A and B are shown apart, each in its own frame.
Chain A
Amino acid sequence: MRTINIRVNGKLVSRAVEDRLSLADFLRDHCLLTGTHVGCEHGVCGACTLFMDGKPIRSCITLAVAADQSHVRTVEGYQGDPLMQAIRTAFNHRHALQCGFCTPGMLATAYDMLSRIADLDRDRIRAELSGNLCRCTGYLSIIQAIEDVHAKHVATAASPLSS
């Protein structure tokens, strides 16, 4: 056991945990933030993807003790974030989820690519999305949702009225 201090969605959480506990299980079982989903538990399915220190990571193969002193942002931590709001609206319009199990990871990966990559096109979106598995949608609606947000993003950035 060891005590870790992690800032989760802006709030400092201090807890004694087993060294072998994964970050995903820490968030779900100790912080009761069950929006982070655990699928394959070996870093393949992408459902547990969340942001740690501003970057997407796999929380099922990251130990909670390795996240000590870091900032973690889960799917519950985006209140008032305009980019995430736009992504959620687009997912809604495009029916980019059915069962919703993969969605927290999909949203994190979408958020990362939309904020990191300026020249997103369909091929790049597909490649960036290849680490997140979805067994419902067949991916097309997810890709279209991300395209919608990117198009709006580019239009807003290019418009002289927006500045």
Chain B
Amino acid sequence: MKPVQLSYERPDALRGALEALRQSSSNARVIAGGQSLGPMLNFRLAQPKRLIDVSRIEALRTAAMEGQTLAIGACVTHARIEDGDIPDVTLGLMRHVARGIAYRAVRNRGTIGGSLAHADPAADWLVTMIALDASVRLQSAAGIRELKVADFVIGPLNTQLAETEVITHVLVPRLAASGRWGHAKYAKKPGDFAETAAIAIFDAERGVARVAFGRRDEPPALMQRTSNQLGGAHGRQRGNLKAAVESDLRDLSAKPVDLMLHRAIVMRALQDMVS
């Protein structure tokens, strides 16, 4: 239960971190709060030769508006989001979700960028960011690119992040004041990873209707027919919405008992949005 021999460095500036990554390629890992990577190091599921700690890089610890988008530094912790320490552009959704992530001692170190880079399919931020249609900004010594979170994640614990890149920001579009959201999560105990989680967002002003759904074995995804139905019906035609949910769920390869759970959680998220 101890990590392999490794070397650790904590650059003060992003440039130093990117340069270290460029030199070390595949045997280096970026670490921030270490709340996912830490256990993997102890179990030796991860055996990097070099750890590059980005958590003290000041530029990654702030959040600022860029037009109608909030650019959240990748090293902003869950606890700071829970405490309202960054601007609220999601009508309280992110604060609500943050409070349900693991435990306070974990939230004090764990970061939003780290969570997305780790890409556990059951993690809270992944499904939240897909529902919000958020993007990640990735930077390497060669340049900067941005990807929708839905495209960034390609499988369980698998993303498009190159070995020389770090996530610098999470880009969250602002919801209009008249927007609404609903959230439901089923976990075996408080703070545990979700067995199933769903988030519904309806923002008529911006023409956004999105329902995202996550589970343990596959990365979260948008429920396309449900989202279309929600956008078209203004959330009022519940009968049709239910049919759309059924139609989306039929595409999943899931055991009947899990399907029941998924259905209940998606319906609860939709209910939470209108109540």
Contact = CB atoms under 8 A, between A and B. Distances in A.
B23 interface: no
Size category, B interface: 20 to 34
A61 interface: yes
Task: Name, among B31, B35, B105, B189, the residue most crowded by chain A CB atoms within 10 Å (CB to CB).
Answer: B105
Contacts, number: 91
A49 B105 contact: yes
Interface residues of A, number: 32
Contact of B43 (A2, A42, A127): A42
B108 interface: yes
Interface stretch (B3-11, B158-166, B176-184, B208-216): B3-11
Contacts of A57: 105, 108-109
A19 B10 contact: no
Contact of B51 (A19, A41, A56, A58): A19
A43 B39 contact: yes
A56 B108 contact: yes
Nearest to A108: B105
Interface in A103-148: 108-109, 112-113, 126-128, 130-132
B2 interface: yes
A18 B106 contact: no
B26 interface: no
Contact of A55 (B42, B103, B108): B108
17 contacts: A20-B3, A20-B6, A22-B42, A42-B43, A43-B35, A55-B105, A57-B105, A57-B108, A58-B35, A58-B38, A60-B38, A61-B41, A62-B38, A66-B55, A109-B104, A109-B105, A130-B190
